[in-house]
Amino acid sequence: MIEVLTNPDKFFEERLKREENLKTPAFIVLLSGMTSGAIAFLSSLMTVGILGGTLPPEAQGFISVMLVGSAVGALVFAFIIWLVVAAILFGISALFNGEGSFKRTLEFVGYGYIPLVIGGIISAALTYHFFSTVELPTVTSPEEVADAIAALMASPMMQLSSVIGMLFLLWAANLWVFGLKHARKLSIRDALITVAIPVAVYVLYSVWKLATLSSTL
């Protein structure tokens, strides 16, 4: 399994000889989803902490539901994103006359989630460290909640977490290049372009968002 990180070209070349199997990729995506769920749980915990005692008593019982719901939602969202990313890459590779099934593409994209699991763990650790040390403000209106969360997200620790997430996304994209090369029988150039388009869009959007947050502080 470690070979997917050290020599992805050879790894996917050998995987192509085997039957399409989504169990391992799904497990990897599950791990990635769990890290996302942990971060979502911490973020929800932060929101509840900001709202403080302003919530009505009848809403207090829903706090735990909201916390678990956000974690599970993030987990499910990871699988949805897996499908969406695979579909986008499958679609773009079709422009380069790519061959191969969507299932194979989905499988190889799933293997590419391994760096995202590592990045997710680091981001979750940083988020936990940040939320455990920061003194959360309390607000009284929804507008102030948005301002408070925006201010928290603009903190250097959270920005570092986002940057690290982007670095591991680039690593994952690198794996997707070799995965698509074999799954869709593309040249390395076409595979690189196929992956670079959506990843570049996402990275640019993330950088713009970080810059916007920094400027609002």
Q: Please state the closest distance from residue 205 (CB atom) to another protein, in A.
A: 20
Q: Please state the closest distance from residue 83 (CB atom) to another protein, in A.
A: 25
Going by C-alpha positions, the residue among 97, 105, 88 that lies closest to residue 178 is: 105
* Distance from C-alpha of 64 to C-alpha of 45, rounded to nearest angstrom: 9
Q: Please state the closest distance from residue 69 (CB atom) to another protein, in A.
A: 25
Contact letters for another protein, residues 121-140 (x by CB under 8 A): -x-----------xxxxxxx
Q: Please state the closest distance from residue 138 (CB atom) to another protein, in A.
A: 6
Binding residues with another protein: total (CB under 8 A): 37
162 binds another protein (CB under 8 A): no
Q: By C-beta, is 72 or 125 nearer to another protein? A: 125
Contact letters for another protein, residues 88-127 (x by CB under 8 A): ---------------------------x------x-----
Residues 6+ apart with CB under 8 A from 21: 107
207 binds another protein (CB under 8 A): no
CB 80 within 8 A of CB 30: no
* Cα Rg of the chain, angstroms: 20
80 binds another protein (CB under 8 A): no
Q: By C-beta, is 80 or 163 nearer to another protein? A: 163
Instruction: Give the CA-trace dihedral at 122, 5, 168, 79, to 10 degrees.
Output: -90
* Separation of CA 139 from chain center: 29
Residues found near another protein in the complex (CB under 8 A): 5-10, 115, 122, 134-140, 144, 147-148, 150-152, 154-157, 160, 163-164, 167-168, 170-171, 174-175, 178, 188, 217
